[in-house]
Amino acid sequence: MWRPVIVMILLPCLVSAEMYLSFTEEDDSEGYATSLMQHQVESTRGASDDRKDMRPHDQQSDAESTIPWQSLVIQEASNREIRIPEASTVSQRPDTHPQAVHPSVGHAQLRDDLCEMRLFTGGAHGAESCWCHKAINPGCNGTKCSCREGCSEWGIVRRSLESITFVNFSPVQYLGKHKDSAVPSIPYACDQAYLTIPKAFYTDLENVSIACHLGGAVNLISSLLRDSFLAFQLKRAGRVRQCVHRPEVVSVRWLHFHTFCEEVEVDGMPNKENALCATMNKTDDATTIAEAWLAKYVGL
Residue where one domain finishes, among candidates 108, 135, 154: 154
Structural domain boundaries, residue 172: 156-300
129 & 168 share domain: no
Q: Model pTM greater than 0.85?
A: no
For 107-135, the pLDDT digits (tens) are 334 568 899 999 999 999 999 999 999 99
For 1-13, the pLDDT digits (tens) are 555 555 466 555 5
SS3 for the chain is CHHHHHHHHHHHHHHHHHHHHHHHHHHHHHHHHHHHHHHHHHHHHHHHHHHHHHCCHHHCCCCHHHCCHHHHHHHHHHHCCCCCCCHHHCCCCCCCCCEECCCCCCCCCCCCCCCCEECCCCCCCCHHHHHHHHHCCHHHCCCCCCCCCCCCCCCEEEECCCEEEEEECCCEEECHHHCCCCCCCCCHHHCCEEEEEECCCCCCHHHHHHHCCHHHHHHHHHHHHHHHHHHHHCCCCCCEEEEEECHHHCCCCCCCEEEECCCEEECCECCCCCEEEEEECCHHHHHHHHHHHHHHHHCC
145 & 278 share domain: no
Domains in the chain: how many in total? 2
130 & 161 share domain: no
Residue 90 lies in a domain: no
CATH number for the domain that contains residue 226: 3.30.428.10
Residue where one domain finishes, among candidates 132, 154, 176: 154
The pLDDT value recorded for residue 174 is 87
175 & 220 share domain: yes
218 & 132 share domain: no
